[in-house]
Structure 1
Amino acid sequence: MRVKSLWIKMAVAGLLAVLAEFAVTYVLLSLLSLPLWLLAVGLPVFWLVQWLASPYLISRGAVEVTNDPTYGELARMVKEISEASHIRPPRVYVTDDPFPNAFAFGNLLSGRGVAVTRPLLEILNRDELYAVLAHEVGHARHFDMEIMLALGLIPSALGSIGGFLLYTGQALLWAALDETALFLGLAMLAVGLALTATTIFIQIFVLWFNRLRESYADMHAARLLGPNAVNLARALAKIQIYMSNVRVDPFKGIVLTVPPMRIKESNPDELLAKWIKEGVSPLADIMSTHPHPAKRVKAILSWVKSSQ
């Protein structure tokens, strides 16, 4: 995937996501006989609250390690990558999550951070960890945290309301003692299902844009590392092998570097060879935050080849 092609796809995906959100919101406001100015006032307030709170929610349980000699090398790598990326170095954190993962978070007010889990530090060698950190610093450089937070506001709100109505409607039906309670429960279920379906519709475009931002961060790492970007592909294979034996609660809202999937390979090189040959359906990752690993690996190796 070339830079120009990636930019065009991101522009199209972002535009479609915004248009879908506007169309759905306009219809909902019209059905409720509410003025459009309410959206212009409410969304910025909602975004500001999430913008302020999200760094603390995402990083709960993470421990900053900048002054910890045990993780001095980790902090030095982030600083080196950040300087090469021409950005201020993010703070460095380690978490105790039971699976290998890395993520970027923060904003201009709270400061930006890059966090890694202890299992990630255990399974990757230095070059592989460096490549993963280059990807995460790419997110910080591209302001992906703020962009995806803004784009995800409407589906997040609709999904929360829809889930609440579904839960409440089921509870009312279960405890209904008269026709009024029965009707109210059915109405809540109907509206909840409609909002959930609407959320899925919008998420198709938002997640597509998110996957492209992940590819953009991969490209950032590949540009920095050149031929050594192959270590990012090997890191993805190692993480995938580890994740094949881990159960992750989907309701905790965890964003993973690679999605858990069944694989038979236990050797990262064998898994890479499989991914290189594997044909992946365009719909295989349609509801995923990250591209299918095989797609990511092929793109990374293509960039490595072009840099040689």
Structure 2
Amino acid sequence: MNYFRTAILLAALTALFMAIGYLIGGGTGAMIALVVAAATNLFAYWNSDRMVLSTYGAHEVDRHAAPELVAMVAELAHRAGLPMPRVFVMDNPQPNAFATGRNPQNAAVAVTTGLLQSLSREELAGVIAHELAHVKHHDTLLMTITATIAGAISMLAQFGFFFGGHRNNNSGPGAIASILIMILGPLTAMLVQMAISRTREYAADNLGARIAGQPMWLASALVRIEGAAHRIPNIEAENNPATAHMFIVNPLSGRGMDNLFTTHPSTENRIAALQQLARELGRSDSMSQVDIEPDYPPHSPWNRPPASRGPWG
């Protein structure tokens, strides 16, 4: 079912790509767009994970460079019945994380230095378990390919505006049509991303909480990450908004309520679902049990002085 959903998504985005090509260059433009879309799909399948990791300057770490982090990922992957993914760290002050890779055998989990510095061990376990749930569900293929193609659609729409906006004959769109292409093309791609991402976040929260064994660890982490994301900008994400849906919490500034135009469900709704799961599993559903603080916890085992914390922070 995950592969079928991926195929449907790719077909929809490819059709949008061709439609924009047709509006820009007629039948010839549509055929060129089809060829480009096919090449983009193929390239994204094999290379989109590398592109995303490179975009965020992520560097791979091992047991020597980050023993505690890698050991935690290994333990949680074992609980989830997954192969050991590669582990990456992004030098970014905003606490956040994402998973990528075309399948569980080629998966990677990436966390920011801000995440390592701001979360307790239990909260970090909740976040990593959430990302491993995405791997388990094969969401990582869907997310990375969607990000790549959505970015290509935005570039094509901008191309249509700059190179087709001054033509009023039958060979291309006029100025008004070009403006509509530039706005509606990326917007449609964004809506497809968001519709998929929001559903998958709830599913990953649920499975991730089961992998970690305590839903409120993830709930606590979501509160802390959400608060920091509003204060600490993620410059790379702002420059590449098509990848925002990959993160555990929306890394972009200025997002609104839980509606069709957000990449993620509201944190309040996610916490409510995790509290319900905690009750079902017989765990405490009280947020007071996970020691939530408004800012970085000074007692966090990941927030030690740089000399003792390791090269990832």
State the TM-score, normalized to the length of structure 2: 0.71
Name the counterpart of 2:156: 161
Computed over aligned residues only, the root mean square deviation of the Cα atoms, in angstroms, reads: 3.9
Which aligned pairs between 1:129-148 and structure 2 lie closer than 5 A?
129-148=124-143
Instruction: Determine which structure has greater relative contact order: mean sequence separation of CA pairs < 8 Å that are 6+ residues apart, divided by chain length.
Output: 2
Q: Percent identity?
A: 26
Equivalent position amino acid for 1:230 in 2: M
Q: Is the 8 A contact 1:91 1:113 kept in 2?
A: yes
Structure 1's 238 and 167: CA in aligned 2 closer, same or farther, altered over 3 A? farther
Q: Is the 8 A contact 2:99 2:110 kept in 1?
A: yes
Whether 1:62 aligns to 2:37 is no
Structure 1's 22 and 241: CA in aligned 2 closer, same or farther, altered over 3 A? closer
Which structure 1 segments of 5+ residues have no match? Answer: 1-6, 173-179, 263-279
SS of 1:103's equivalent? strand
Structure 1's 245 and 151: CA in aligned 2 closer, same or farther, altered over 3 A? closer
Q: Is the 8 A contact 1:138 1:221 kept in 2?
A: yes
One of 240, 265, 273 as aligned partner of 1:299 = 273
One of 207, 217, 220 as aligned partner of 2:207 = 220
Rounded to whole Å, the distance in 1 between the matches of 2:109 and 2:140 is 11
Rounded to whole Å, the distance in 1 between the matches of 2:197 and 2:231 is 26
1:21 Cα shift?
A: 4.3
SS of 1:107's equivalent? coil
Name the counterpart of 1:270: none
Rounded to whole Å, the distance in 2 between the matches of 1:248 and 1:167 is 28
Q: Is the 8 A contact 1:168 1:188 kept in 2?
A: no
Q: Is the 8 A contact 1:96 1:117 kept in 2?
A: yes
SS of 2:190's equivalent? helix
Name the counterpart of 2:240: 252
Name the counterpart of 1:229: 215
Alignment deviations for residues 46-93 of structure 1 (CA, whole Å, 9 cap, x no partner): 212123332222222222221325x21111111111111111010111
SS of 2:220's equivalent? helix
1:102 Cα shift?
A: 0.9
Structure 1's 300 and 115: CA in aligned 2 closer, same or farther, altered over 3 A? same
Alignment deviations for residues 94-142 of structure 1 (CA, whole Å, 9 cap, x no partner): 1211211111123359932111111111111100000100001111122
Structure 1's 212 and 125: CA in aligned 2 closer, same or farther, altered over 3 A? same
One of 242, 249, 270 as aligned partner of 2:228 = 242
Name the counterpart of 1:207: 194
Equivalent position amino acid for 1:125 in 2: S
Structure 1's 195 and 252: CA in aligned 2 closer, same or farther, altered over 3 A? closer
Alignment deviations for residues 257-296 of structure 1 (CA, whole Å, 9 cap, x no partner): 323668xxxxxxxxxxxxxxxxx96xx3422222111121
Equivalent position amino acid for 1:222 in 2: A
Q: Which moved more, 1:124-133 or 1:57-66?
A: 57-66
Which structure 2 segments of 5+ residues have no match? Answer: 283-313
Equivalent position amino acid for 2:228 in 1: Y
Structure 1's 156 and 59: CA in aligned 2 closer, same or farther, altered over 3 A? closer
Q: Which moved more, 1:208-217 or 1:185-194?
A: 185-194
SS of 1:115's equivalent? strand
Q: Is the 8 A contact 1:14 1:205 kept in 2?
A: no
1:206 Cα shift?
A: 2.9
Structure 1's 15 and 110: CA in aligned 2 closer, same or farther, altered over 3 A? closer
